[in-house]
């Protein structure tokens, strides 16, 4: 990574979105079908329907619908974060398309989520107040940055975990953060695996990708029930749902 760039600047460089491969006109054949025109790839013989989207076959180079720009992940940044946090049963669990906010006055100082990839776990912690927000964002979450932008970029540490090469979500989040002058304290992104993350809002200690610590062995019975009930709404686009957390 470039030492002359900020943490988020480096991530923006290496995590640029993957882009569709463009077919050369010389590799496309037009033919008549269903009273309209369809397309055929001269390389592999794959044909389109009336929407003119070619179904490439036989490992055709154009069948690789996306081409990565730059090196493969994971992309990792750790700017002095203590990764020694252990998780008690009953920590505040944020499920997919949810967010929660805690502080030193909350019933527990630990909040986290698990299984992010291609989803993204985004977390902010205000160093002066200990107020901490964490969300589990998916590709069809709507207005997902709204709860975060009340935080002051000058006093806030940002943590981002998850994402994979099948989605532009990570890059989209990084751009939004960069526009608001946030930098990244900890990143573990685009590793094409399910990721887990939790943080102690008082100490700033973090637990990262310790599956046994963060998955159902540490979830309360209420969390497990909520997880089952949450699955149906995830079939449709929607805003993040805010957890009600006791003080």
pLDDT, tens digit, for every residue of 69-86?
Answer: 445 678 999 999 999 998
Residue found by looking up tokens 């986290």 in the block: 112
pLDDT band for position 67 (cuts 50, 70, 90): very low
- Where do the domains of the chain lie, and which CATH numbers do they carry? 19-67 (no CATH), 71-242 (3.30.1330.200)
Instruction: Please say if the pLDDT value at position 2 is more than 90.
Output: no
132 and 199 Cβ atoms separated by less than 8 Å = yes
Q: What pLDDT was estimated at residue 19?
A: 60
User: Rounded mean pLDDT of 34-45?
Assistant: 84
pLDDT, the chain, mean: 85
Q: What pLDDT was estimated at residue 193?
A: 77
Q: What pLDDT was estimated at residue 32?
A: 85
Q: What pLDDT was estimated at residue 244?
A: 77
Query: Residue 21: which residues within 8 A CB-CB, separation 6 or more?
Result: 61, 62, 64, 65, 66, 67
49 or 41, higher pLDDT: 41
Q: What are the beta bridge partners of residue 161?
A: 121, 188
């Amino acid at each position: 990574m470039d030492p002359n760039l900020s943490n988020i600047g480096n991530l923006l460089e290496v995590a640029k979105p993957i882009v569709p491969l463009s077919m050369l006109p010389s590799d496309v054949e037009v033919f008549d079908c269903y009273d309209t025109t369809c397309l055929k790839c001269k390389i592999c013989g794959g044909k389109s329907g009336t929407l003119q989207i070619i179904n490439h076959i036989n490992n055709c180079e154009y069948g690789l619908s996306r081409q990565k720009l730059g090196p493969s992940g994971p992309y990792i940044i750790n700017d002095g974060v203590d990764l020694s946090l252990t998780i008690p049963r009953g920590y505040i669990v944020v499920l997919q398309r949810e967010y929660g906010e805690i502080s030193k006055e909350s019933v527990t100082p630990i909040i986290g989520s698990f299984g992010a990839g291609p989803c993204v776990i985004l977390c902010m912690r205000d160093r002066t107040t200990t107020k901490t927000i964490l969300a589990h964002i998916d590709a069809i979450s709507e207005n997902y940055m709204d709860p975060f932008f009340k935080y002051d970029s000058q006093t806030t540490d940002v943590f981002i975990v998850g994402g994979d090469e099948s989605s532009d979500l990570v890059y989209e989040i990084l751009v939004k953060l960069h526009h608001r002058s946030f930098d990244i304290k900890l990143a573990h992104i685009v590793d094409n695996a399910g990721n887990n993350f939790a943080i102690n809002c008082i100490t700033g200690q973090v637990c990262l990708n310790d599956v046994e610590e963060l998955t159902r062995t540490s979830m309360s019975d209420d969390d497990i029930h909520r997880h089952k009930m949450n699955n149906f709404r995830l079939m449709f686009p929607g805003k993040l749902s805010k957890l009600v957390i006791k003080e």
